[in-house]
A and B are shown apart, each in its own frame.
Chain A
Amino acid sequence: MTAKSIGWRVWPLALAALIAVAACGGGGSQSSSQNVKIPDKTASGTLQIWGFGDDNVTAKSRLDAFKAAYPNVKIELTPGSLDPQKFLSAVAAGSPPDLVNLNRAKLSTYANRNALTPLDDYFSAAKLDTSQFRSAAMKPLQVNGKTYGVPEFNNVIVAYVNNKALKEAGAQLSDVDFSNWQKLSDLNRKLSKVGPDGKPQRVGIDPKLPEFTPLWVYGNNGKIISDDGKKALLDSKQTIDAVSYAAGLRDGYGGQQAYDAYSQTWDIFGKGNPIAADQIGVTLFEQWWLATIGKVSPNADFSIVPFKARNGKELTYADGNSWAVPKGSKNAGLATAFMKFMTDPDTWVLSAKANVASLQGGVFTGIYTANTKADKRIFDEVYKPSGKASFDDAVKIFQRIQDEAVTLPPSAAGNEVVQDYTDAVRNVLLKRQPADAAMRAGNQKIQAALTNPG
């Protein structure tokens, strides 16, 4: 009967934060480029990094390379996703880590609250060329005209097609056409299987709502918020039509509740993944899933098809992580050297080689780094086609669509924007509200959050 509340956490934190803010005066000037120093490889000291672990080959190989290059620098890692409570408390108390690794979509929320250090001067001093990073990856890191981070990974969304299901339905790969909604609805009907008890036995086409709402909206020439991050645009006709159509796909296999119950049983990371287990016909999913399938189901029979906008152009949505330096970091120069090293093409190539060396019968599908030069070198120097068409064709598509990515513009209320469109779309999926009413209500909430983010 222990009271598992958070009240005991909120109050002490608030006190600590208030005292800290009072003590610090909440101020501090930013370094000018003249004052910024980037240490060389003889540097010594400790670099505290939150939100980053070395529990995978890609991270560990790069970290080991940094340690070898900077032998006198000690790295202290706090793995797992960046904990917002801990992070904000540390910044408010004036004892933040030197560097953090966080989801790019969350960066603007912190930057708008002055929790991060603008890095333009540091990048100039370190001669870090930000033009080598993909524009969709850099966009969320540029807030109010300043750059707050260095991107790593460019995770794009594509459609995974279960070839067995497609054959069974007598359909062709060309029928998986996201620009032709009528064709897609027909395919959904053919691929879906519902048992006599009304429970789905195979999901025809999974639009992955509400997670991938922005992709459907952008695909129909709509937007969630304006490019300057100030205006909510969830109530436009394009957005309403996109959500209404994509949500309707779920009716083909019993509706949202039936889908929820069925999808909660899927083994996304295992040998019995929904493609291998024939639980799904077509699903939108992030590109990282290919590497998982490559490891656990190297003989899976599937194809990758890019999402297409209504105008027929290939389109994808990009996500990924970013390095950022908290406000008050005592080692911002060394942190910049670390960021530069970790996202350098040489380091990525080394990491790709380590990945290949660690394969045990799996398929190497490349690393998509968000760095154009690194990507090119990885695919020129390290990647070799596996001879398995499913994987090799997928890799070609991933490379091709990296620059076709869109992403949500940075805003002061990033988390609320995501939550509010999620709630609105969820109401459509559960048929609590028609799409136009749900999107209008969501739009009001988003606009309120953008207008008054504090």
Chain B
Amino acid sequence: MLSPWIFGFLIFTLGPMIVSLALSFTRYDVINPPEFIGLKNWALLFSDPLLLKSLQNTFFFAALHVPFAIAIALALALLLDQISRGAGFFRTVFYLPSITPAVATGILWLWLLNPQVGIVNQFLHLLHIPGPGWTTDPNWIKPGIVLMSLWGLGNTVVIYFAALRQVPNELYEAARVDGAKPWAQFFRITVPMISGTLFYTLVINTIFALQYFTEVYTMFFRGQESGVSEDALFYVIYLFRQSFEYFHMGYASAMAWLLFAIIVVVTLVQVGFSRKFVYYEGAS
């Protein structure tokens, strides 16, 4: 049963990973044979200021995106869980943005976030709040991207909604009998009972954030000469630029492995913390 999957994994995942590790020790432009250069690409990783900047941008984005994504998706799922009529309609509405093509999302949000005529700043203007330069001010470009990234929370909402439905009602009934307030019920029952799901989405959202690419590339890097320079340069965009615009496949392979290592470390740290905070039914 597993053999087709194993075959696919070896050919399309593990094999290319091993080859890319080998390529990271070479100078390689796809056309000409790779030339072994030892650790030069790896040494360059630690002295490339743009790589450092792209890592900073990416971590900044992940640090904002992940908690906001989890909190907002959970809030929406709780709302969905409370309503009985029209729940299907709202589930569909919340899910729709996540099936919008990423390129369309990028173009749409370039307009929504336009500092002069964008709907976001128009709304802020109604509240007498001066709207920032979401797409132009180096200090606001990344927060603007975070705002855009929250558009596609539908998947997380649906996962949380399913998890909330699994929480036994008896627990809430017993809590109510004991006089527990809604907040206490939420923190003492809901959160522990869905903590496994919360942990899963924490890991997945973190990986997603560290690999964020398409929407930002569409918004700011479609035309090479009109990019916003380094303010929106995320790690994978820089990796793409090194590989497919400059044809530095060896360096790009080293970058890919560095990102892989970062994701592994971050995930291991999250797993370590999860032992304290995640409740698994039936676990000893």
- A contacts, CB < 8 Å to B: 1-7, 10-15, 17-18, 21, 26, 84-85, 88-89, 91-92, 109, 113-115, 199, 210-211, 256-258, 260-262, 264-265, 327, 413, 415-416, 418-419, 422-423, 426-427, 430, 432, 449, 454
Q: How far is the CA of A30 from the CA of B140 in the complex (A)?
A: 53
CB contact list, B200-221 vs A, under 8 A: 201, 204-205, 207-208, 211-215
Interface flag for B110 (CB, 8 Å): yes
Q: How far is the CA of A210 from the CA of B229 in the complex (A)?
A: 11
Contact assessment for B33 and A26 in the assembled complex, using a CB-CB cutoff below 8 Å: yes
Contact assessment for B156 and A92 in the assembled complex, using a CB-CB cutoff below 8 Å: no
12 A–B pairs (Cβ distance < 8 Å), ordered by A: A1-B152, A1-B201, A10-B243, A14-B20, A18-B34, A88-B247, A113-B29, A258-B136, A261-B114, A454-B28, A454-B35, A454-B248
Residues of chain A within 8 A (CB-CB) of B152 are: 1
Residues of chain B within 8 A (CB-CB) of A91 are: 30-31
Residues of chain A within 8 A (CB-CB) of B215 are: 4
Q: How far is the CA of A267 from the CA of B144 in the complex (A)?
A: 23
Given A454-B32, A454-B248, 17 extra CB contacts under 8 A: A2-B208, A5-B236, A6-B213, A11-B20, A17-B30, A21-B31, A85-B244, A89-B30, A91-B30, A113-B247, A260-B135, A261-B114, A261-B115, A261-B136, A264-B136, A426-B228, A430-B229
Interface flag for B92 (CB, 8 Å): no
Residues of chain B within 8 A (CB-CB) of A454 are: 27-29, 32, 35, 247-248
Residue of A nearest to B114 (CB): A264
Instruction: Give the shortest distance, in Å, between A164 (CB) and chain B (any CB).
Output: 22
Residues of chain A within 8 A (CB-CB) of B252 are: 10
Residue of B nearest to A19 (CB): B19
* Nearest 8 CB-CB pairings of A with B: A11-B16, A5-B211, A261-B115, A260-B136, A15-B16, A1-B155, A426-B229, A257-B136
Residues of chain B within 8 A (CB-CB) of A256 are: 136
Instruction: Give the shortest distance, in Å, between B267 (CB) and chain A (any CB).
Output: 13
Interface flag for B38 (CB, 8 Å): no
Residues of chain A within 8 A (CB-CB) of B98 are: 1
Number of interface residues of B (CB under 8 A): 65
Q: Which of B12, B102, B116, B138 contacts A261 (CB 8 A)?
A: B116
Contact assessment for A419 and B241 in the assembled complex, using a CB-CB cutoff below 8 Å: yes
Residue with the greatest number of chain A CB neighbours at <10 A, chosen from B114, B225, B239, B253: B225
Residue of B nearest to A259 (CB): B136
Residue with the greatest number of chain B CB neighbours at <10 A, chosen from A91, A199, A260: A260
Q: Hey, what's the 0/1 contact readout for B242-265 against A, CB within 8 Å counting as 1?
A: 011111110011001001100000
Q: How far is the CA of A419 from the CA of B214 in the complex (A)?
A: 19
Q: Which of B15, B34, B133, B205 contacts A15 (CB 8 A)?
A: B15
Contact assessment for B110 and A264 in the assembled complex, using a CB-CB cutoff below 8 Å: yes
Interface flag for B137 (CB, 8 Å): yes
Residue with the greatest number of chain A CB neighbours at <10 A, chosen from B201, B230, B239, B243: B243
Residue with the greatest number of chain B CB neighbours at <10 A, chosen from A18, A109, A115: A18
Contact assessment for A11 and B19 in the assembled complex, using a CB-CB cutoff below 8 Å: yes
Q: How many A-B residue pairs have CB under 8 A?
A: 155
Residues of chain B within 8 A (CB-CB) of A257 are: 115, 133, 136-137
Contact assessment for B225 and A4 in the assembled complex, using a CB-CB cutoff below 8 Å: no
Instruction: Give the shortest distance, in Å, between A275 (CB) and chain B (any CB).
Output: 19
Q: How far is the CA of A15 from the CA of B155 in the complex (A)?
A: 32
Q: Hey, what's the 0/1 contact readout for B116-148 against A, CB within 8 Å counting as 1?
A: 110000000000000001011110000000000
Contact assessment for A26 and B32 in the assembled complex, using a CB-CB cutoff below 8 Å: yes
Q: Which of A4, A10, A210, A260 contacts B20 (CB 8 A)?
A: A10
Q: Which of B102, B114, B138 contacts A430 (CB 8 A)?
A: B138
Q: Hey, what's the 0/1 contact readout for B1-41 against A, CB within 8 Å counting as 1?
A: 00000000000110111011001000111111111000000
Q: How far is the CA of A114 from the CA of B110 in the complex (A)?
A: 38
Residues of chain A within 8 A (CB-CB) of B212 are: 4
Q: Knowing A5-B213, A10-B256, A113-B31 touch, does A415 contact B114 (C-beta < 8 A)?
A: no
Residues of chain A within 8 A (CB-CB) of B133 are: 257, 260-261
Q: Which of A4, A26, A426 contacts B213 (CB 8 A)?
A: A4
Interface flag for B82 (CB, 8 Å): no
Q: Which of B23, B116, B156 contacts A14 (CB 8 A)?
A: B23
Contact assessment for A14 and B249 in the assembled complex, using a CB-CB cutoff below 8 Å: yes
Contact assessment for B248 and A327 in the assembled complex, using a CB-CB cutoff below 8 Å: no
Q: How far is the CA of A84 from the CA of B236 in the complex (A)?
A: 17
Residues of chain B within 8 A (CB-CB) of A2 are: 155, 208
Contact assessment for B224 and A11 in the assembled complex, using a CB-CB cutoff below 8 Å: no
Residue of A nearest to B242 (CB): A416
Contact assessment for A415 and B31 in the assembled complex, using a CB-CB cutoff below 8 Å: no
Instruction: Give the shortest distance, in Å, between A221 (CB) and chain B (any CB).
Output: 22
Instruction: Give the shortest distance, in Å, between A325 (CB) and chain B (any CB).
Output: 14
Residues of chain A within 8 A (CB-CB) of B168 are: none
Residues of chain A within 8 A (CB-CB) of B88 are: none
Q: How far is the CA of A422 from the CA of B115 in the complex (A)?
A: 23
Q: Knowing A7-B256, A15-B16, A422-B224 touch, does A327 contact B114 (C-beta < 8 A)?
A: no
Residue of B nearest to A427 (CB): B229
Q: How far is the CA of A422 from the CA of B207 in the complex (A)?
A: 31
Residue of A nearest to B17 (CB): A11
Residues of chain B within 8 A (CB-CB) of A415 are: 224, 245-246
